Amino acid sequence: MSFLRSDLEAFLATNKELMFNERDLQVRVASWLQESGHYDDVDMEYAVPKEELAARGVKIGEPSFPWTNDLSIDVVVEKNGEFAAVELKYATRPVDVKIDRFGEPMKTDCLIVKDQSANDIVMYNYWKDVRRVEILARCYPKVKGGVALMVTNSTIYWNTPRPDAGYRAFSTSEGNILRPGLLEWGKRIAASVVRSHPAFELDGTYPCHWTDTAVVVRCAIGREKAPFRYLLSVIGG
């Protein structure tokens, strides 16, 4: 786990190339970990059927684990017969940067990198990733923990939410600390969101601290030319 955290931090501190989407981040992270030489194996899209979790005592559909779909872990590393999981989120706003396509400059002023809305859902899914790794470590003795990582250039993720924000329980704001217990939506969230994104429990304590990446481009929309920053939560280990 110490190698995993330091390897990810080293990648984020040295990679200056803009990543275009979450799959780009996933491939780059997996390649970096493989090339580090610290692991016997590095896999992407590591699938675990929900039936297998249920057979190992997970109560699917209850607050401990309310989701009913199979797991697909972004990256799994193995060392000496022990495993750790890496879950990734890449939540972006468009950036103001010129790039070439096939060796030629673009003729249009297209904004590069998609504008991802539904920030509250992204926060929910980040902590859902944390919970998934907690469950894997509970089910499999050889899973020693893992890391949840979010990279973003949107200030909403590290800014403190309003007191009445419906997503406050899932906030990733700088200095926030998530503690063991049930995470639930506030009253200002649509009923459809509550149904499709049910409340769930966490076992661990996770402080939120944001760090700048080495990527120098800034978002192109809004007065805050925000940098790319990352939040890294270590589960177990």
The DSSP secondary structure of the chain, one letter per residue, reads -HHHHHHHHHHHHH--SPP-SHHHHHHHHHHHHHHHT--SEEEEEEEE-HHHHHHTT--BTBTTB---S-EEEEEEEEETTEEEEEEEEEE---B----EETTEE-SS-PPBS-----HHHHHHHHHHHHHHHHHHHHH-TTEEEEEEEEEE--GGGTSPPPTT-TTGGG---TT-EE-SEEE---TTS-HHHHHHS--EEE-S-EE--EEE-S----BSSSS--PPPEEEEEEEE-
Task: Write down the pTM of the prediction.
Answer: 0.93
Whether the pLDDT of residue 224 is over 70: the answer is no
pLDDT score recorded for residue 138: 95
- For the chain, give the mean pLDDT: 92
Question: What are the φ/ψ torsions at residue 66 (nearest 5 degrees)?
Answer: -80, -5
Lowest mean pLDDT among 9-23, 140-154, 223-237: 223-237
Contact call for residues 64 and 58 (beta carbons, < 8 A): yes
pLDDT (tens digit per residue) in 28-67 = 999 999 999 999 999 999 999 999 999 999 999 999 999 9
Whether the pLDDT of residue 222 is over 70: the answer is no
- Mention every residue, 6+ apart, whose C-beta is less than 8 A from residue 110: none
pLDDT (tens digit per residue) in 108-158 = 766 667 777 789 999 999 999 999 999 999 999 999 999 999 999 999 999
pLDDT score recorded for residue 34: 97
Model confidence at 219, pLDDT cuts 50, 70, 90, reads low
